[in-house]
Structure 1
Amino acid sequence: MISTADLAPYAGFVLRDAAIPELPGHYRGKVRENYDLPDGRRLIIATDRLSAFDRAITAVPLKGQVLTQIARFWFDRTRDICPNHVIAYPDPNVLLCQGLRIMPVEVVVRDYMAGTTSTSILSMYKAGRREMYGHRFPEGLRANEKLPQTILTPTTKAFDAGHDEELTPERIIEGGLLTEAQWAEVSALALDLFARGRELAARQGLILVDTKYEFGFDAEGRIILADEIHTPDSSRYWFAGSYATRFEAGEPPESFDKDFIRRWVTARCDPYRDELPEIPTEIVLEAARIYVSVFETITGQDFPLPPADEPVLDRVRRNLAPFFPLAAP
């Protein structure tokens, strides 16, 4: 198990920005740098930025690599179910992929009565709703309870920082977001992907609670899995070993501690109004350790630590050189 001492050499090697002027079509996301290339491909560089409170609050060593490699683990293990957008991984933080026409529908698959956002079934259920996303829910369900069956809860794809909105199959089809055949295919793919994820997670002592999938269309109109898959940013995991005991006791399930730095900040200020305190190195390194432990728990593999003697952007540029005519670092 990797310790914070093992990660100390990486404290000065974080990827805060990954702007490469020689590459065209650049746009900056909260944590990823994206490049739409003239030939229709897309380059995605995962930085180490940590976004919270509507801003980037710090950078966590190895975070970008962790999330890229967790997605790689799952893309590799689900390509027999659904083709995905991956072309190559030029660097541990980098994905070269197909450019796709992204569907206007995000598909969320759920196995439990859980969630915290306004579009989660638990929030709606607590507010008294019993019909959601085209499903009828029985009375008496408890927070974090296993649902009678796995369900799809689609939402609109929130472009330009908009908000997701609840959808039903009827609204998707009648509103022209997808054809009936497309929705049937996407539904089947999402349920099959989730079943694979649930099976492999169970082998690692984890419960895959719910997850979001993003699909797109390639130039021939085929449905392709895009974005990421089964990462802790797009999915909820609980630890299976303690779930039953904690559920019966009315306690929240044990899950990955992704909000470690968020809690540290909120204990010291109002992050939406105050200037943020400087986050100590030991706190950032503990967050890095947590991210690495997430990779190792989900995949069952040791995390491949990169050499700690080269700035990450220099390494990225060096690894991209065979793919693109970049200037030397």
Structure 2
Amino acid sequence: MLESSFKLPGQTAFYKGKVRDVYTIDDRLMVMVVSDRISAFDVVLPRPIPFKGQVLNQVAAIMLEASKDIVPNWVKSSPLPNVTIGLKCETFPVEMVVRGNLTGHAWRTYKTGERVLCGVTMPDGLKENDFFPTPIITPTTKAHEGHDEDISREEIIAQGLVSKEDYEQLEKYTLALFERGKEMAAERGLILVDTKYEFGKIGDTIYVIDEIHTPDSSRYFYAEGYEENQKNGVQQKQLSKEFVREWLMANGFQGKDGQQVPEMTDEFIQSVSDRYIELFENITGQKFVKEEVAAADAESRIIAALKSL
């Protein structure tokens, strides 16, 4: 599914994000359609990836179910493999990025000689992909368009983006969810390296929303060989959509002005789809079952699910 155009009962709003189509129902519920669109460097690439939406939605459903004892989540039902219906929350305007290892954006910052990221001081003497002594939280602002921006805890509170009380609770939830994610990853022979969480609020209750611990929102390493690779200065084998970013960079694209997205051949599209399915099976330990649903049938199933809530 590249995009959706449902007409749902009680629909009061529609928002098309980079990879999700979101319908608001009676200002109380949200229907999130996880499309097969794929983005990198905050750019939506021109061709969809078959079954990517199903992979992300089903991984998120499994991970949210496994962590609902830590923090309430927004999910009410999942009537289709790539659709979730849940509570409409007042979204906090920050993403809580948590990092267990020095990689990605943190490493790119670190190797310039900078030791402070989002107000957090990183210790000297680390190599790329080393574990931090304890996980660090490096939040970003949430951008509907363009790039998310790094921001510190102090700036978030000072600017009134999140109250001090709520932010402290978000930090607690973030670290607890990350710990649960690490435990689940370890059972699969993986290391949860870094991830991000989004939260919302209804009344006085905070909910974790959107997706968690998916290959789009998270980075995983294989645990086997990790220590040896670090000792020998070898890049870690990872499970994430980083391979897409690496392919784009190798073909001269980083989302900068004037750059063109390289041609996405049928062979490349199939390889990305296969990789997402591999990610699903490695992260969840379950066999992936492809499910294609006609648009008319999808709409009727969503409407039936809404009527039951």
Q: Given the two structures, how large is their TM-score scaled by the length of structure 1? A: 0.83
Q: Deviations over 1:59-86 (max 9, x none)?
A: 1211100000000010000000000111
SS of 1:211's equivalent in the other structure is strand
Aligned to 1:37: 25
Aligned to 2:212: 229
Which of 288, 305, 314 is residue 296 of structure 2 equivalent to? 314
Change (3 A) 1:95 1:153: same
Aligned length, in residue pairs = 301
Shift of 1:226: 0.9
Q: Write out aligned runs for 1:8-157 (5 A).
A: 15-22=1-8, 23-52=11-40, 54-115=43-104, 120-157=105-142
Q: Deviations over 1:98-153 (max 9, x none)?
A: 111111222111111111xxxx3222222222233333333211111111112222
Aligned to 1:188: 172
Shift of 1:212: 0.6
Question: Are 1:156 and 1:167, in contact at CA under 8 Å, matched by a contact in 2?
Answer: no
Unpaired stretches in structure 2, ≥5 consecutive residues = none
Change (3 A) 1:269 1:167: closer
Question: Are 1:268 and 1:277, in contact at CA under 8 Å, matched by a contact in 2?
Answer: no
SS of 1:45's equivalent in the other structure is strand
Amino acid corresponding to residue 35 of structure 2 in structure 1: T
Shift of 1:174: 2.9
Question: Are 1:51 and 1:58, in contact at CA under 8 Å, matched by a contact in 2?
Answer: no
Change (3 A) 1:52 1:113: closer
Aligned to 1:200: 184
Q: Given the two structures, how large is their TM-score scaled by the length of structure 2? A: 0.88
| Distance in 2 (alpha carbons) for counterparts of 1:275 and 1:137 | 34
Amino acid corresponding to residue 133 of structure 2 in structure 1: P
Moved more, 269-278 or 285-294: 269-278
Change (3 A) 1:208 1:94: same
Confirm whether residue 172 of structure 1 aligns to residue 156 of structure 2: yes
Change (3 A) 1:246 1:136: same
Change (3 A) 1:204 1:123: same
Change (3 A) 1:172 1:68: same
Task: Work out which of the two has the higher radius of gyration on C-alpha atoms and give 1 or 2.
Answer: 1
Question: Are 1:50 and 1:56, in contact at CA under 8 Å, matched by a contact in 2?
Answer: yes
Question: Are 2:77 and 2:84, in contact at CA under 8 Å, matched by a contact in 1?
Answer: yes
Q: Deviations over 1:257-294 (max 9, x none)?
A: 635566666666769645753622x4322222211111
Q: Percent identity?
A: 36
User: Aligned-pair RMSD on alpha carbons?
Assistant: 2.4
Shift of 1:18: 0.9
Change (3 A) 1:177 1:243: same
| Distance in 1 (alpha carbons) for counterparts of 2:136 and 2:245 | 31
| Distance in 2 (alpha carbons) for counterparts of 1:266 and 1:136 | 29
Change (3 A) 1:60 1:146: same
